[in-house]
Structures are given as structure tokens and as C-alpha cells.
Amino acid sequence: MVHVTRDKSKLSFEQLELFAAVVQCGSISAAARNLHMSPSLAARKIAILEAELGTRVFDRTTRRVHLTESGHRALQWAQDVLTGYVSLTDDLNIMQQKLSGTLRIVSNEYLLTSILPKFIANFSRTFPDVRYTLRMTDTHVASEQRDFDLAIYSGHIRDSSLKGIRIRDYRRVLCASPSYMKRRGRPTTLEALTEHDCLTHEQIEGQWTFRKNGQVLQQRVNSIATSSSHLPLIQLAVNGMGVAQISRESIRQELADGKLETVLDDYECLNIDTTQPATWVVYPGERKLERTRVFVSELTRYLRSLPA
């Protein structure tokens, strides 16, 4: 059982944030790095938290920490406190007609390096009291995660339980460099892809899906390189390594400069589940904070104004 002595408690909001971060990261040192504090200071703060609660919340090993039975109960309480605080400050901001607090954004490499920086910089000038935590990963968040406010992804969302909105559709194309096609020839049929070197994203590794004249077609491909991000695939294609399937928007300059050329243009590239590629914003729960709602509204307007 968790015991908290109210009149002498030294528990702080910072300690609860650290506690939740240790659970999320799996170790005190990893959580300390995320929160920009030394591992030794983080370990002392966890020790103080355990002393104040009167119970051990973690079983420690050399590599990872694991919640005790009391730790599971304490974590639920800590998350409720943290969520309640964020909701309270959001309600107060709405009453004062201002946006503040931290937006925790998760996105893939392409969006977070090529698309979002300009938008976030402009948004920050309009709402200077908002702070940002940006985490780059091409691995999609899980529905049970609570360490983010919004995740922005392109392509196919595997977890159907995630709450989100489809911001806009975009077009993928097949492309290769002139040097590659001079060496290997230009593919003129889908079947020819089995004879070509293909550069694939891990979401659609080994099989590409297309539509032509209303008919869905799936084609096995000869994948010689796979990546969790499209940016390395673009550079591999530019350097003549093979045929890649990339969003047209992300290679607009390479096409204009003649570094890449599109092939099989009469085939429409689809996700593996036959849906149209799209940019999505997903949320960890039912409630969206006011700063999140405003950010997503402005981001949707911005992204929809960009060339498809």
C-alpha cells in the first residue's frame, strides 16, 4: 500500500514527471537524459520519492528497472496527478485566452526535418508562450502511450485504435536516377521490377501495391536495401543504386534538377492495405488540449496549402 504523509511530504511535480519518465524509458539514466539532468541526481530524486511514499516503486537490475506492485499503483496515481495538472493549466489558459505549456510532438524524419520546422517557427511567433519537445522516430506510437500530445506521420497507420485525423492525401511515385537506368534500363512494366534493384521502406518491404484503371495490383519486388526512413532511400536512388517509391513532394527538387526521373507513371502507388498515402495526426487519448487543437488546426491549413 502507498502511504503519503501530507503535512511533511517532499514530493514534487518534477519527481512525478521523473517517475513516469523512468517507466517509459526503462531506466533511470535514460529518463535523466530525456529530462536533461544527471543520472546521479535522478537516482537521488527517485530514492526521495520512494522514501516519501514509504515503499519501493522499482526493482532494479543492472540494465533496467521494473515496477513493483506498489509501483504500479503509484504510477497510476502519478499519471492522474500529471494529467490533472496539464488539464487545469489548459483550462486556465482558455479562460485567459492565451496558449502556453509544452507541446510534445512525435514525427518521422522527413516531416520533422523538411516540413515542420518552418511551420513551428511561424507558429511560435504567433504563440510565444508555447514550448516544444520534438521526438523523431519512424516507428509509430502505440495507443497505450501517454508521453506525447500529438504524432504526425505519413503513409499507413497500422494501429486502428489510435485517435486521429487524416490531414491530406499525397502522391507517391516510382523513380530512379538517369545513371541507374542507363546501366540497367528503364522499367516499362510492373513485372520488370522483379529484375531491377529496388529500394524499399520497411512499411512496404518486398511488395508494392498499385492501382490502374480502377484495378488494384500487387507486385513483388527485388529489394536490395530497406530503410525505416525515406530520406536515405532518396539519396541511394540519386546515387544510382536502384528504383525507389517516394512521395513526389519530397523529391520535387531532385526531379527538377534531373537527378531523378519518374517511371511507370500510369500506375498509382498505394499503401499495402490499398489505401491512398496520407499525412495523419494522431492523439494518445480522448481529450485534446487547447494548444494541441490550435496547433493541429493551423498545421492542417498549412499542409493542405502545400503542393501535393
pLDDT digits (tens, 9 = 90+) for 166-186: 888 889 999 999 999 999 999
HSE toward the beta carbon, residue 41, CA cutoff 13 A: 10
For residue 5, the model assigns a pLDDT of 47
HSE toward the beta carbon, residue 212, CA cutoff 13 A: 11
Residue 63 CA to residue 44 CA, distance in Å, equals 18
pLDDT tens digits, one per residue of 207-253:
999 999 999 999 999 999 999 888 999 999 999 999 999 999 999 99
For residue 86, the model assigns a pLDDT of 67
- Put residue 266 in one of left, alpha, beta given phi > 0 → left and psi -120 to 50 → alpha: alpha
